[in-house]
Amino acid sequence: MISLLLSIVSSTIILIIFKIIERQKVDIFPPIVVNYIAASALGFTINRTSSSVSIETVTPWILISIVIGIMLIGNFYLIGNSTQKAGIGITTVAAKMSFVLPVLYSLIFDAHDIIDIKKTALILLALASVFFVIYPKKFDTERSGSILYPILIFFGLGLLDTLLKYCQHHFITDADSTLIFTSVNFTVAGIIGIAVVLFSKKSQKQLKNPKVWLIGIALGVANFGSMYFLINSLNALRFDNSLVFGINNIGIVIASVLIAIIIYKERFSKINWLGLILSLLVLLGMINILV
């Protein structure tokens, strides 16, 4: 449960940093590239004190890790474009609802994750609560691409978490292998990001700004923690992986809403408050099963 809590905290910090990027009027791509470089460096630095990377270690999952690395940076691109063309409301809904895909995968293919009525009901209520919490006052459906980008985000983020679940189930069984796997994923994403920067003079110029590096490094530490602790949680709570994804998602939503209310003084509608209350009840129900 500690790893799961740390994953939620890390993911929430990512959202806070994105808010800082928005308010500082910094272009998002350069900090994202720095973020993957920092996450990769952090992982391999820690790895020096635990285990070594070898061909035998990474061979079973290296191709999947390359796909994950591509998807990590690709999903950021999709989210950026969807926010502009479809609006932040429908983009957020698509992103947060995507956790249903790894949940379904875990319930169908993981023999340790047993389906029962109580668990199914909680997962369905979790979907409803997340939708209500982030339900915007108005969907901007007039913009070009308002349907395509959210659909791509739903499947892109959902497939990313499903691939993480697949690797965790078949190859990543302990903290050391999780560390190597996470580091390689971010390395691939970092290499792709650097390649893109080489063809963008604007991004190269922005990388000279110390603020970009500070934000990127902070984002990288949080990003590393988010993935590393999530995989550790899946390993530690093997019998209820579908609930791990549910708790992780709901926990992030609740934490981000509370921060929005307390720090940024954002206002929420009655349906948002209904969703928040329902989220808390579902979260308690899921934790009750795990403990």
pLDDT, tens digit, for every residue of 182-196?
999 999 999 999 999
Residue type, position 130, single letter: V
35-49, 70-84, 156-170: range with highest mean pLDDT: 156-170
Q: How far from the centroid of its chain's Cα atoms is residue 109's Cα?
A: 22
**Residue 91: what pLDDT?**
78
- The residue-averaged pLDDT of 161-182 equals 90
Under 8 Å between Cβ of 36 and 220: yes
Q: What pLDDT sits at residue 228?
A: 94
Per-residue pLDDT band for 261 (boundaries 50, 70, 90) equals confident
Q: Which of 2, 234, 229 is nearest to 106 (CA)?
A: 234
127-148 pLDDT per residue, tens: 999 888 887 765 555 554 567 8
Residue of 176 and 280 predicted with greater confidence: 280
Q: Is the pLDDT of residue 160 over 80?
A: yes
Question: Which one has a higher pLDDT value, 88 or 256?
Answer: 256
Percent of the chain with pLDDT over 90: 48
- What pLDDT, in 10s, does the model give residues 60-118? 898 999 999 999 999 888 887 777 677 666 777 888 889 999 999 998 898 888 888 98
22-48 mean pLDDT: 88
pLDDT of 144 reads 47
Share of the chain above pLDDT 70, in %: 91
CB atoms closer than 10 angstroms to residue 183: 24
Span 4-31, average pLDDT: 88
Q: Where are the domains of the chain?
A: 2-290
The sign one gets for the Cα dihedral 212, 215, 218, 222 is negative
- The H helix count followed by the E strand count for the chain is 13, 0
pLDDT at 84: 65
Q: How far is residue 5's CA from residue 231's CA, in Å, rounded to a whole number?
A: 12
Contact 123, 263 (CB under 8 A): no
Going by pLDDT thresholds of 50, 70 and 90, the confidence category of residue 218 is very high
Which carries the bigger pLDDT value, residue 47 or residue 98? 98
Question: Could you tell me which residue, 22 or 204, shows the higher pLDDT?
Answer: 204
Per the rule left: phi > 0, alpha: psi between -120 and 50, beta: everything else, 90 is alpha
pTM over 0.85: yes
- Tokens 């969703």, residue? 275
For the chain, what is the radius of gyration of the CA atoms?
19
Segment 259-271 mean pLDDT: 83
What is the pLDDT at residue 186? 95
- State residue 150's pLDDT score: 86
Please state, as a whole number, how many other Cβ atoms lie within 10 Å of the Cβ of residue 73.
21
What are the C-alpha distances in Å from 138 to residues 25, 256, 276? Answer: 25, 20, 19
User: Do 91 and 85 contact (CB within 8 A), yes or no?
Assistant: no
